[in-house]
């Protein structure tokens, strides 16, 4: 239990730390990677360059500290982040390293203002927060290991098939090298891929949504090729240009919380922008297979016909379903957007809607769906990239 004194110090210093947020986290990561360069095999180097992950991790520690009396209240947020952590193979022994360099960052930036008392209070509080994450992650790893054909951390997979879906999206069908089947997963979950790229010092990790309904013997990911000069695009470009059938890389077991509730038979709508279509494919195929009578709408926005992935697959499933509709809009064309009117026409607002795409697209969709009268609990979404803020706090 933290003492009342510690709690008081924490609450009074959170605003100061937030104010110096960028400075502290920049120092924190710089020092941590200097002392532990092996962690660059885990962290996304592009996020580091753009400063996005810096903000996410430290802000979450501060936000959690505010709720230190009742961490239960932010358990959903912890679980969401822990999904990402277990997908990346974060281990308990990593936590003290992050704690040490976060505290050193606070000390370095705040100088004398960070008294021993303050540093001690934060060390104690970080320990409590870290234990909460470690506990949640331990259970997740155990579940992964005990699931049929499951595993924890990474395992070798090979590319069994590579199929172009559109001008810039290609699917990779992946099978375990050990010849085993793959575990079942919930539609909407993702895996991490980990690979070494020739000429690069550290391993690269990326998360990709599984893009088909669960199959016994393979996973499928569908990857958008980023621009050559996009720092975040290193893996996607390598996959598209250099990786072929028979090539191998490591894969972690499915994780993630943005999943379809397969028990429901009430109306459901999928709304995707660009490569945000990938988790929708897994969800939609699952509905088409398990509950084809479920009233279903699929709305997709993409730039033009050549960028349009999975069109035939969706059309085929829609034709075989009892009550499904499908519309795609091309933003290169006039009125090529999913507007309020389009949502009103296709989405049954008594049901659930799943949204995935670039952040501005999602913000617009969520706003419009709310304007149509849908409640928060009916609208499910997942942002790409690191969560910039702890949404439930």
Say if residue 120 carries a ligand binding annotation. Answer: no
Interface with ligand HEM (CB under 6 A), residue from 88, 214, 283, 309: 88
From the CB of 103, what's the least distance to ligand HEM, in Å?
A: 12
What are the φ/ψ torsions at residue 333 (nearest 5 degrees)?
A: -100, 155
CA atoms within 13 A on the CB side of 285: 20
SS percent in the chain: helix, strand, coil, step 5: 50, 20, 30
What are the φ/ψ torsions at residue 200 (nearest 5 degrees)?
A: -105, 140
Catalytic residue among 126, 137, 185, 354: 137
What are the φ/ψ torsions at residue 201 (nearest 5 degrees)?
A: -75, -40
Tokens of 237: 């470009």
Interface with ligand HEM (CB under 6 A), residue from 16, 39, 79, 119: 39
- For residue 383, give Cα distances in angstroms to 121, 192, 285: 33, 16, 21
Tokens of 210: 């599984």
Say if residue 380 carries a ligand binding annotation. Answer: no
Report strand pairing: 219-224 vs 169-176. antiparallel
Catalytic residue among 95, 141, 173, 326: 95
Q: Please report, as residue ranges, which positions from 114 to 133 form the binding site for ligand HEM (by CB under 6 A).
A: 129-130, 133
Is 137 considered catalytic here? Answer: yes
Asked if 103 is part of the footprint of ligand HEM (rule: CB under 6 A), the reply reads no
Tokens of 12: 């009074």
Tokens 């499915």: give the residue: 254
Say if residue 27 carries a ligand binding annotation. Answer: no
Binding-site size for ligand HEM (CB under 6 A) equals 23
Is 293 considered catalytic here? Answer: no
Say if residue 24 carries a ligand binding annotation. Answer: no
Stretch that binds ligand HEM, among 81-89, 112-120, 230-238, 367-375 (CB under 6 A): 81-89
Asked if 66 is part of the footprint of ligand HEM (rule: CB under 6 A), the reply reads no
d(C-alpha 142, C-alpha 140), whole Å: 5
Chain residues binding ligand HEM by CB under 6 A are 39, 42-44, 47, 53, 56-57, 60-61, 81, 84-85, 88, 90, 94-95, 98, 129-130, 133, 386-387
**Binding-site residues for NADP(+):** 274-279
List residues with catalytic annotation.
Answer: 95, 137
Which residue ranges make up the annotated binding site for FAD?
Answer: 190, 206-209, 383-386
Binding-site residues from annotation for heme b: 85
């Amino acid at each position: 239990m933290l003492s009342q004194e510690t709690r008081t110090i924490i609450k009074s210093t959170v605003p100061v730390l937030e104010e110096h947020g960028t400075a502290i986290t920049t120092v924190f990561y710089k020092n941590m990677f200097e002392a532990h360069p092996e962690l660059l095999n885990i962290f996304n180097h592009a996020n580091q360059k753009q400063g996005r992950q810096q903000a996410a991790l430290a802000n979450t520690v501060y936000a959690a500290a505010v709720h230190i009396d009742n961490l239960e209240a932010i358990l959903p947020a912890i679980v969401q982040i822990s999904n990402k952590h277990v997908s990346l193979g974060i281990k308990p022994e990593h936590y003290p390293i992050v704690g040490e360099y976060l505290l050193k960052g606070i000390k370095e930036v705040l100088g004398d203002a960070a008294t021993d008392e303050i540093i001690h209070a934060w060390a104690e509080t970080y320990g409590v927060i870290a234990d909460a994450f470690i506990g949640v992650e331990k259970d997740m790893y155990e579940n992964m290991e005990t699931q049929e054909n499951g595993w924890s951390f990474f395992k070798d997979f090979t590319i069994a098939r590579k199929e172009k879906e559109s001008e810039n999206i290609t699917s990779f069908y992946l099978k375990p090298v050990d010849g085993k089947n793959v575990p079942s997963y919930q539609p909407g979950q993702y895996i991490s891929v980990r690979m070494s790229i020739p000429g690069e010092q550290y391993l690269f990790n990326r998360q990709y949504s599984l893009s088909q309904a669960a199959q016994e013997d393979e996973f499928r990911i569908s990857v958008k090729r980023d621009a050559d000069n996009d720092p975040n695009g290193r893996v996607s470009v390598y996959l598209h240009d250099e990786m072929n059938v028979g090539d191998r890389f490591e894969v972690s077991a499915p994780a993630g919380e943005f999943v379809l509730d397969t028990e429901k038979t009430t109306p459901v709508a999928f709304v995707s922008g660009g490569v945000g279509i990938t988790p929708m494919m897994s969800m939609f195929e699952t509905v088409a297979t398990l509950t084809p009578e479920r009233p279903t709408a699929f709305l997709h926005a993409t730039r033009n016909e050549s960028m349009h992935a999975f069109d035939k697959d969706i059309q085929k499933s829609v034709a075989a379903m009892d009550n499904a509709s499908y519309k795609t809009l091309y933003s290169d064309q006039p009125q090529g957007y999913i507007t309020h009117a389009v949502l009103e026409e296709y989405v049954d607002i008594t049901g659930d809607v799943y949204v995935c795409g670039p952040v501005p697209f999602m913000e617009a969709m969520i706003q419009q769906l709310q304007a149509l009268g849908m409640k928060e609990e009916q609208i499910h979404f997942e942002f790409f990239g690191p969560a910039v803020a702890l949404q439930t706090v």
